[in-house]
Amino acid sequence: MASAPLNELYLAALTISIVFLTVLWYKLTSNISHEEESRLPPGPRGLPIVGFLPFLRPNLHHQLTELSQQYGPIYKLWLGSKLCVVLNSPSLAKEVVRDQDTVFANRDPPIAGLVATYGGLDIAFSPYGSYWRDMRKLFVREMLSNRNLESCYSLRRHEVRKTIRNVHTKFGNPIDIGELAFVTEMNVVMSMIFGSKFVEDMEKHRRDGTEFRDIVIKFLQELGKPNISDFFPMLARFDLQGIQKEMASLLKSVESILDPAINERMKILSNKREGEIQGNEKKDFIQILLELMEQKDIGISVDLVKIKAILLDIVIGGTDSTITTVEWVMTELLNNPEMMSKAQQELKDVVGMSNIVEESHLPELHDLDAVLKETLRLHPALPLLVPKRPSQSAVVGGYTIPEGTKVFLNVYAIHRDPHEWESPLAFQPERFLSRSTNLDFAGNNMKYLPFGSGRRICAGLPLAEKMVMLILASLLHSFDWKLPEGETVDLSEGFGLVIKKSERLFAIPTPRLPNFELYQ
């Protein structure tokens, strides 16, 4: 009995120490002034030190959308010592991607992302500034220029035709749509980067896209995992969950595929000296980049590490969002058979049953375009875009967002907002057929931002749009699709940076075109 007051004393001392340490912790780790703190947006309280971290659920975009119903269109969360602000309305989106775009064009990459990109040397994670500007310019103007994209159409066509031929050999059997899209997209991307011979060699050695698939999936899983190091930067050096170590090892695996291909191309290029390289020669991405590396007078210093960082954006980031989008479109069409028939009728009218789909047909496919847009409304590949970090304190929605805050633009919530969309949860592609709206991918209408908006809008948009449309149009024109017997469409979403389907989609193709030769 005598020890009871002593226990209470211990308890009191412990509580005082925890409170003291908590206050000290915030003082040491936070560079937010008292004045700024009083003007922060509202938000859930959370626990001392860890903040809202223990309450996070796997599907972050769902939870952040639910919280907006409770706290309004702008709210804050403390995740460990990291202040996060979530924006959930078109007018707040406008404030950050239009009115204050230079401040919010800065990024807040996760530590795993920095490990994966040699410290943020890629385009997506590099801070806003001259390095990012130069790299993005190089990517958009040199690699994805209209001329370049047109000149490598034959590569895209070749790989998509190969996929159609392949599906034809398996008709009547269930096909994993995600895997099909992955192999097609990966082969297209690899042939655009390294040339079609590289893809043929990979296939000869049975190193087709599937080999890469596991690495890409793991890469994105690690990137999407909540990491203590991000929430308590003071603990980053201990890598408590081993995420940074795992990421470094995944990067090595990717390099084991990229490095030999780059080295081989460097050898070929140096054997084929200046005079022999024709001005009008069709160049793949690696040749463009290696040539830029040799030019000293272009104002951009390109080296091998930067080249690999850019390739990672294309091979890992670009591929995954493209595949996920193809899989979601096919899922929605299988769930809405009348829309599938409408899109197929359009293909019959525009392409004809005795032809195959060409890229020149794509601008005529208005129904399919509307299906793609509606799918990206309901299932935006990056529901929270790539998080932003203002380069200086700013005022948004009347509240202060201090410099260094992690800012999520919750496109998922905006795309499903009942104040912005009629029947927001229904799949209604017709809403994109009216010419009076500017609901396109350019990010001008703040209620529809599947590729983001402003300076940091998706840099791969011209290629992404062509690829997704070409793969979908070819699959839908060449085959009818149905679910395996007794199966229903599963629309649930998995966890990650890119919202994937939680269950893989299997569908059974039946040839649609009368002429067998169109499958050869």
Contacts to ligand HEM by CB under 6 A: 123-124, 136, 313-314, 317-318, 321-322, 325, 381-382, 385-386, 450-452, 456-460, 463-464, 468
Using CA of residue 59, residue 63, residue 66, residue 72, what is the dihedral sign? negative
Residues 6+ apart with CB under 8 A from 276: none
Ramachandran class of 308: left when φ > 0, alpha when ψ lies in -120 to 50, beta otherwise: alpha
| CA distances for 57 relative to 61, 108, 225, 283, 329, angstroms | 9, 21, 11, 46, 26
Q: Which is nearer to ligand HEM, 139 or 519 (CB)?
A: 139
Q: Which is nearer to ligand HEM, 104 or 232 (CB)?
A: 104
Enumerate the β-bridge partners of residue 27: none
Minimum distance from residue 454 beta carbon to ligand HEM (Å): 7
Helices (H), 274-415: 285-294, 304-312, 319-335, 337-350, 366-378, 411-415
Strands ordered across the beta sheet of 506-511 = 175-176, 506-511, 479-482
Minimum distance from residue 460 beta carbon to ligand HEM (Å): 2
Q: Which is nearer to ligand HEM, 183 or 385 (CB)?
A: 385
Residues 6+ apart with CB under 8 A from 265: 194, 286, 287, 290
Main-chain phi, psi angles of 225, to 5 degrees: -70, 135
Minimum distance from residue 406 beta carbon to ligand HEM (Å): 13
Q: Which is nearer to ligand HEM, 41 or 460 (CB)?
A: 460
Q: Which is nearer to ligand HEM, 356 or 382 (CB)?
A: 382
Rounded Cα distance between 292 and 297, Å, is: 9
Q: Which is nearer to ligand HEM, 247 or 310 (CB)?
A: 310
Minimum distance from residue 458 beta carbon to ligand HEM (Å): 3
**DSSP symbols for 39-77:** TSPP----BTTTBTGGG--S-HHHHHHHHHHHH-SEEEE
Rounded Cα distance between 356 and 361, Å, is: 10
Residues 6+ apart with CB under 8 A from 425: 378, 416
Main-chain phi, psi angles of 236, to 5 degrees: -55, -35
Q: Which is nearer to ligand HEM, 414 or 483 (CB)?
A: 414
Minimum distance from residue 457 beta carbon to ligand HEM (Å): 6
Rounded Cα distance between 57 and 164, Å, is: 40
Minimum distance from residue 370 beta carbon to ligand HEM (Å): 16
Q: Burial level of 215, CB count in 10 A (0-12/13-18/19+)?
A: middle
Minimum distance from residue 212 beta carbon to ligand HEM (Å): 15
Q: Which is nearer to ligand HEM, 313 or 417 (CB)?
A: 313
Q: Which is nearer to ligand HEM, 123 or 202 (CB)?
A: 123
Q: For the chain, how are helix, strand and coil distributed in percent, rounded to 5?
A: 55, 10, 35
Minimum distance from residue 241 beta carbon to ligand HEM (Å): 25
Q: Which is nearer to ligand HEM, 313 or 332 (CB)?
A: 313
Minimum distance from residue 419 beta carbon to ligand HEM (Å): 22
Minimum distance from residue 288 beta carbon to ligand HEM (Å): 14
Q: Which is nearer to ligand HEM, 467 or 518 (CB)?
A: 467
Rounded Cα distance between 109 and 82, Å, is: 13
| CA neighbor of 78 nearest in space, from 56, 57, 95, 59 | 56
Residues 6+ apart with CB under 8 A from 437: 445
Q: Which is nearer to ligand HEM, 325 or 344 (CB)?
A: 325
Q: Which is nearer to ligand HEM, 83 or 458 (CB)?
A: 458
Minimum distance from residue 113 beta carbon to ligand HEM (Å): 12
Minimum distance from residue 430 beta carbon to ligand HEM (Å): 21
Minimum distance from residue 285 beta carbon to ligand HEM (Å): 9
Residues 6+ apart with CB under 8 A from 131: 121
Which two structure tokens, joined as six digits, stand for 289? 């980049």
